[in-house]
A and B are shown apart, each in its own frame.
Chain A
Amino acid sequence: QKEVEQDPGPLSVPEGAIVSLNCTYSNSAFQYFMWYRQYSRKGPELLMYTYSSGNKEDGRFTAQVDKSSKYISLFIRDSQPSDSATYLCAMPSGSARQLTFGSGTQLTVLP
């Protein structure tokens, strides 16, 4: 069983829609939870990170963590074509804070 499972998609939505991206994890040692966005032919870039259970909002993006269910989500409000990318959840562990990534969800926002 993988430590981090992510809905594979692909996901295609109309502009302005609310998008929900989800991951589950099995390792109780994970303390930080991150979302990365990766555009085609680019490296991932950090979008948001959270530490505790609950919600964290940044503009149109909201990260949600439920440690009791080992479930994290990223919501995108008023989605834009520029949000079209692959979204990866990730959790650090180990002494070097190595990241364990989900497999990514490819999102396309149609104008």
Chain B
Amino acid sequence: EADIYQTPRYLVIGTGKKITLECSQTMGHDKMYWYQQDPGMELHLIHYSYGVNSTEKGDLSSESTVSRIRTEHFPLTLESARPSHTSQYLCASSVEGEGYGYTFGSGTRLTVV
């Protein structure tokens, strides 16, 4: 069973709305990540965090923001959703010493109409 949880699983929302995608992990991992994945396309890193109070932007430019106030929690926020934000958002965490493998959540599929 996954130790990293994302909510909601599916979200349909109107343009201009503010949304927050939740991600929580129970493994005590320091590093956490947000990836964006369009259907049939590769995953692109949009944000990552080394630990509490540490956040960095990833390779793919994104209008979203993140915060890391607690080790276990790494929410992603879109202040004003647009149709171009329609995608799947995947949260992951990792710890050194495990081959740098990630544990992924099941994702949030966002549709902005």
- A residues with CB within 8 A of B: 32, 34, 41-46, 49, 51, 88, 92, 95-99, 101-104, 106
The total number of A-B Cβ pairs within 8 Å is: 64
Q: Shortest CB–CB separation between residue A11 and chain B, in angstroms?
A: 14
Q: A101-B42, A106-B40 are in contact. List 17 more A-B contacts (CB 8 A).
A: A34-B99, A34-B100, A41-B107, A42-B107, A43-B2, A43-B90, A43-B104, A44-B43, A46-B102, A49-B101, A96-B48, A96-B50, A97-B94, A98-B59, A99-B102, A101-B35, A103-B42
Chain A interface, DSSP helix/strand/loop, else mixed: loop
Q: A35 vs B56: C-alpha distance in the bound complex, in angstroms?
A: 25
Q: What is the interface of chain B mostly: helix, strand, loop, or mixed?
A: strand
Residue contact A88 to B43, C-beta cutoff 8 Å: yes
| A103 to B39 alpha-carbon distance, docked (Å) | 10
State the interface size on chain B (CB cutoff 8 A).
Answer: 29
> B77 to nearest A CB, angstroms?
20
Report which of B31, B41, B49, B50 forms a contact with A103, defined as CB distance below 8 A: B41
Given the complex, which residues of B lie within 8 Å of A102, measured CB to CB? Answer: 42
Closest 5 CB pairs of A and B: A43-B104, A49-B99, A46-B101, A103-B42, A92-B100
By beta carbon, the residue of chain A nearest B49 is A96
CA distance in complex: A44, B2 (Å): 11
